[in-house]
Every structure is written in structure tokens, then in C-alpha cells.
Amino acid sequence: MTKNLYGGIEGGGTKFNCAVGSGPDHIVNEIRIPTTTPLETVEHICEFFALHMGQLHGIGLGTFGPADVDSASSTYGYITATPKPHWAHTDILGMLREKINIPFAMEMDMAIAGLSEAKWGASKDDSHSLYLTIGTGIGGGYIVDGKPLRGLTSLEAGHIRIPHDRELDPFRGACPFHDDCFEGLAAGPAIEARFGQRAETLGDAHPFWQIEAGYIAHALVNYILTLSPKRIVIGGGVMQNQFMFPTVRRKVQELMNDYIGHEMITKKIGQYIVPPALGSRSGVLGAIALIMDSK
């Protein structure tokens, strides 16, 4: 067996997607593992990769956060202050390395999804691109020249504060840290908490989607002004509603009010704020891209 493959793990709050391959046109095996306890989840991951052990150069891991992905830190590889039961302060990378003795690289889940879109997908020709997922959580990765931007820590842009009109939307917010931050107002669980039903069952015509699109547009405007991406790629369940992209784009233009006169915003916003090209695989492919490019 020759070593021409890479492993990718996209660790999320509800499932861990694992794959073996070398790009979007070459995935030889993949599996979806439910996120239960760290011990049980890691065991299932290791069983999957054991099938390919001699073939793998290494494994990339993208994890939900907050997590410590600074390789110089003493808690590198840990999921840190997550509200997710069982997972706070878990040394996920250490647990994997103990069982699988090949190179690993680790990043935030949102950053790796951005990596794959920047390497193979919707932002392939852009030096600066923002990837955002709006689903169970909201997070982003800003990819600059093929690498996720990271400073003091990795980005946690889903938790920014945005205007919240309590008359229009009296919901107090669902974020256990910040109540009505962007994620606390607009992620899937926040929608479910408002209506007692899952966001995808609300129906495309439900009036809340206008409010939701407004929150997303406010956050995008803040990201555009603060990061100045050349493209914004948005994945996640919430954007599946077919009215969301055009509505969000229109609201971004309204809020921006031509302040930044660049044609990508004033005229070509349909090419500026776009869905992922790699679909549901962008996360796991990003984990593969991460380990491929860490060589």
C-alpha cells in the first residue's frame, strides 16, 4: 500500500464527519459518527481510520470550539470552555494521538471549512475570504493566502454583538455566555427556542426569516468593515432556505448604504456573498486540506 491519502475529521457538536482521500474528486471512504462522550466518539473515529492506517500521510482535525489550536500553548489540542456537556476542557488531540501514531494538524471547524472552499471551492481565486457557518452554532474562518487568520486565539466571530430590536423580536437570546450575541439570536437552537420547533420546519414563508436575514446582514456588514473579505461563503442549515441569500444580500447593501463603493458590494453582491461549492463536505475536505498543506 502506498501512502497517498490524508485523513480528515470535522468535529461538530452533533456529529464527527471523517473521510479519507486527497481532494473533492478523490474521497475513498467516509463516515458520520454521532458526537456522544469524548471517549466513545474518539473510539469510533479510531476504528474508522484503522481501516486505512498504512495509506495515510496524516490526519487533519477541525473541531468545534472554543478550542486551543495554538501549537505553542500548553493546552494545545484541547476543546476549552464549550457549553457542550462532557466536552469542556477535553484534550481531543491528545486522545487521538495516543491511539494513532501519524502526524496531526488541528484547527477550528469554521476555519477548516474556509480552507477547503479557498483551496478548491467558492473562494478558490481569492487571497482573502471569509467562511461562515450558520447552523447549530455560528462561526467563521478568515482565510488569508491559504491560511486561517489567527492572532491571540482563533476567531470566534459568531459571538459578536449586533443590534437587537426587542420590540420586533423579544427573544432574550440563547447563548449561555452572551445571551443575545449573533449566535445567541440567529443560530438554529435560538430559532428553535423561539418557536418550539426546529428551524427547518418553520417553512420558507415564515415572517421570522426576514428578522433572521437582518441579523445575518448586520453581522456580515460588521465582518466586511472589520476584515474586508474578497468573498464571503456561507454554509450551514439556516442558509438552505431559498430566500435567504437574496434577502441577506439586499439587506447588506441597504445597511452598507454605498459607504464602501466597491462594485463587489454595490453591483456584484450575488458573486460576493455565496453558498459553499463543496456542499456538506467542505468541513471534512478542509481538514484534509489542513494536513495536506501542513507538510
Which one of residues 15, 52, 57, 128 is an interface residue with a second copy (CB under 8 A)?
128
Q: Judged by CB under 8 A, does residue 172 bind a second copy?
A: no
User: Measured from the CB atom, is 79 or 284 closer to a second copy?
Assistant: 79
The owner of cell 463516515 is 31
Q: Judged by CB under 8 A, does residue 218 bind a second copy?
A: yes
The DSSP letter of residue 202 is: S
**Do the bridges between strand 138-144 and strand 147-148 make them parallel or antiparallel, or are there none, so unpaired?**
antiparallel
Q: Which of these ranges, 6-14, 21-29, 157-165, 242-250, lies near a second copy under the rule CB under 8 A? A: 157-165
CB of 89 to a second copy, least distance (A): 10
Which one of residues 15, 32, 84, 178 is an interface residue with a second copy (CB under 8 A)?
178
Q: Are 27 and 280 in contact (CB under 8 A)?
A: no
Q: Judged by CB under 8 A, does residue 102 bind a second copy?
A: no
Which one of residues 44, 84, 161, 194 is an interface residue with a second copy (CB under 8 A)?
161
User: Measured from the CB atom, is 95 or 265 closer to a second copy?
Assistant: 265
Closest to 160 (Cα-Cα) out of 148, 177, 145: 177
Q: Judged by CB under 8 A, does residue 91 bind a second copy?
A: no
Which one of residues 14, 259, 279, 280 is an interface residue with a second copy (CB under 8 A)?
259
DSSP-derived secondary structure for 120-181 = HSTTTT-SEEEEEEESSSEEEEEEETTEE-BSSSB--GGG-B----TTT------BTTTBSB
CB of 20 to a second copy, least distance (A): 32
**Terminal CA-CA length for the chain:** 20
Q: Judged by CB under 8 A, does residue 228 bind a second copy?
A: yes
User: Measured from the CB atom, is 204 or 254 closer to a second copy?
Assistant: 254
Which one of residues 54, 151, 170, 207 is an interface residue with a second copy (CB under 8 A)?
151
Closest to 95 (Cα-Cα) out of 32, 18, 42, 34: 42
User: Measured from the CB atom, is 48 or 171 closer to a second copy?
Assistant: 171
Contacts of 171 (CB under 8 A, 6+ apart): 180, 185, 190, 193, 194
Which one of residues 27, 46, 102, 160 is an interface residue with a second copy (CB under 8 A)?
160
Q: Judged by CB under 8 A, does residue 114 bind a second copy?
A: no
Q: If you compute the radius of gyration of the chain from its CA atoms, what whole number of angstroms results?
A: 19
Closest to 284 (Cα-Cα) out of 7, 10, 61: 10
Amino acid type, 92: I
**DSSP β-bridge partners for residue 7:** 20, 59
Q: Are 65 and 79 in contact (CB under 8 A)?
A: yes
CB of 68 to a second copy, least distance (A): 9
Q: Which of these ranges, 26-34, 37-45, 214-222, 283-291, lies near a second copy under the rule CB under 8 A? A: 214-222
Interface residue list for a second copy (CB under 8 A)? 66, 80-81, 127-128, 140, 144, 149-164, 177-178, 218, 221-230, 255, 257-262, 264-265
